[in-house]
Structures are given as structure tokens and as C-alpha cells.
Amino acid sequence: MQSHRKMIVIAVAVVISLLFLGAVALLIRGFIQFHEVETALQASKANLEMLYTQNPFPSSANRKQELENIKDIQQELLDLQSAMGAEQVEPVGQSPAKFITQFFDTKDRRLLVRAIDQNIKLPKGFDFGFGRHMKGDLPAPQDVPRLTQQLKIVETLCNLIFSCKITGLTAIFREEFEADALGGGGARPAPAGVGDGAMIRNVVESSAGIIPAGQLYGRWHFAFQFTGRDNAVMKILNALANSGVFVTITRLEINGDEKLFDRKEEPAEPARVVETAEGTPAVKEPSKSRDERVVCGREAILTVKMELDVYQFAKSPAVDPDKKPGGVK
């Protein structure tokens, strides 16, 4: 009995000792973990204080990367500028006498001939907006490069419009910048070169087509008044959108002949009662007039006034040959 009690006491003591040793082990482990965490915290605080006391800007690595990004963006802009002005008309340096010769050659041997070939009606003595030079007076030498450029743009636009099967060209508006236009009298288009009912006239604009310093582009403003069917107008709009010359339409005014759609009043034929093959009476509806039967072929000849801007882009600097378009190395 006594030995049994001793065994119980020994067992209890062993268990208590084990629990105590376990508690001590857990406590030591906790102290070790706390020390590790405290050490990491102190290291983080030291790093944070070091970052706060440092001046990281500018970072040489970051600055190098940003400079490369700027070069890529500049290359993108150069590529875009070159693409937009790839097919634009440039000023042509030549003598005033050569310009007058070129003007009459363009007017008489190219534009007028093409209009006749395509059955396009033009007013008698049509001047294509250059009425000031119809008498053959020589322009000022400093105006010749821009005049030649403007003449070529007008020729390009006329060829585009002629190709869309219009029926007639009534008037062309351009901006006059010549020295004699600025000095006296303003714009004065030749009366013989403008068709009846023309709604547009030349205006004086000294900065026409000039690219301001530091700017991306300048603009030429033109207006055309012509007649044609609605499908010709749609073709012209599509052709301008697909043109290599950068063009935007600023105003489009279309007028049609409303009389074409007026229905003529004709005396109505009264309804009649007729007998069918079976001998039963039936009401015969009156026949429709020809004007009521025609549902197609009423396409009107439209009178169109179209104003547009032709953009002149600045020449871009030399493009880096080592870089592909789009800034890709």
C-alpha cells in the first residue's frame, strides 16, 4: 500500500516536472522569437531612417530610362509629322514670268481640257480663283513660291472633284496674299471668271499657308461651288478623306431644286362599277397618274458650297535611321 502511494507521488512529480520543463522551453522559445522580431524591427527602422536622410533624386538609372522614353516619344512625333506631310504641295521657287506661264498652262491645257472631256460646265473665262492674274500681270517675286504652291493645290483639288462626275463648277474661292492685294483694293475676282449665282468670293489673308514659328502646321483655306447629283457629293467627300493631301471640310452647304419633288395636280378619274366574269358587280379603282407612279429617277441636281482647309505641315528634322517607324529600336 505504502509503495503504491509512493509510485503515485513519483508519477505526479514526474508529470509536474515535465510540465514545468515544457513551460520553460516555450518561454525560452518565445524570448528567442521576440529577439528575432525585435532585431528585424530595429533593422527596418534603421533602413527607414537611412532612406529619410538620403536624397534619391535625381536617380541616375531612372533619369537614363526617362531620357530614352523621351527619345522614343520624339521619334513617334517625327514619324507622325513626316507621314502627315508626305504628299503635301511645297512652295516652288521660280520667276514671275514662269509662274504666269504655268498658270495659263494649268488653266487652259489641263483643267479646262479635262472639264470639257468630262462634260463639266464651267463659266466663260473661268479663272479658278486667280482672277487677279488673268491679265498676265507679273506678281511680286516674293509671292511666286506660295502662288505656285497655291495653284498646284487648286489643280489637285479640281482634279479630285472632276473625277467624281460633277455636272458643273461655278466658282472657286482662295485666300489672296499677294503684295498688290494687301496694298490696295482687297480681293477682286475677275467677273468673267465667276459663274452666275456664285456665293463665294476671294478674301485677303496675308498669312495664308504660312506655318507660324514653333508651330506644327499652317493652313490654306478654299471654297468650291459646284453642281452635281448626291452620289457625286458623296464621292467627293470620300475622295477628300482618302486624299494624300491633308484636308478637312469646314463647311458644307447643299441646296436642291424643290420643284423637282412637287407633285402635279391632275384630275382624278372617278371610280367605276364593273361586272366581273361571274356577273357580280365590282368597284374598279381609278388608275394612278404618271407622277404618282414614278418613285425612282427623281434625283435632283444639287448646288453645293464646300469650304475646306488644306494643312501645310512643318518639315520635321532628320529621322534617326537606326530606329524603325513608331520608335521601335
Q: pLDDT value at position 17?
A: 85
Q: Quick one: cell of 130? A: 486667280
Q: pLDDT value at position 329?
A: 39
Average pLDDT over residues 15-20: 86
Average pLDDT over residues 252-274: 63
Backbone angles phi, psi at 193, to 5 degrees: -95, 10
Q: Quick one: cell of 41? A: 524591427
Distance, in Å, from the CA atom of 297 to the CA atom of 47, rounded to the nearest integer, reads: 86
Which has the higher per-residue pLDDT, 298 or 93?
A: 93
Distance, in Å, from the CA atom of 225 to the CA atom of 223, rounded to the nearest integer, reads: 7
Distance, in Å, from the CA atom of 240 to the CA atom of 220, rounded to the nearest integer, reads: 15
Q: What is the mean pLDDT of the chain?
A: 81
Q: pLDDT value at position 326?
A: 47
CA 290 to chain centre: 47
Least confident span in 19-23, 57-61, 163-167, 294-298:
294-298
Question: Comparing C-alpha atoms, which of 250, 253, 230 is closest to residue 302?
Answer: 230
Least confident span in 44-48, 104-108, 261-265:
261-265
Residue 187 has pLDDT above 90, yes or no: no
Residue 250 has pLDDT above 90, yes or no: yes
Query: Which three-class secondary structure string do you get for the chain?
Result: CHHHHHHHHHHHHHHHHHHHHHHHHHHHHHHHHHHHHHHHHHHHHHHHHHHHHCCCCCCHHHHHHHHHHHHHHHHHHHHHHHHHCCCCCCCCCCCHHHHHHHHHHHHHHHHHHHHHHCCCECCCCCCCCCHHHCCCCCCCHHHHHHHHHHHHHHHHHHHHHHCCCCCEEEEEEEEECCHHHHHCCCCCCCHHHCCCCCCCCCEECCCCCCCCCCCCEEEEEEEEEEEECHHHHHHHHHHHHHCCCCEEEEEEEEECCHHHHCCCCCCCCCCEEEECCCCCEEEECCCCCHHHHCCCCCCCCEEEEEEEEEEEECCCCCCCCCCECCCEC
Which has the higher per-residue pLDDT, 143 or 273?
A: 143
Q: Where are the domains of the chain?
A: 7-52, 80-261+298-313
Least confident span in 14-18, 54-58, 74-78, 90-94:
54-58
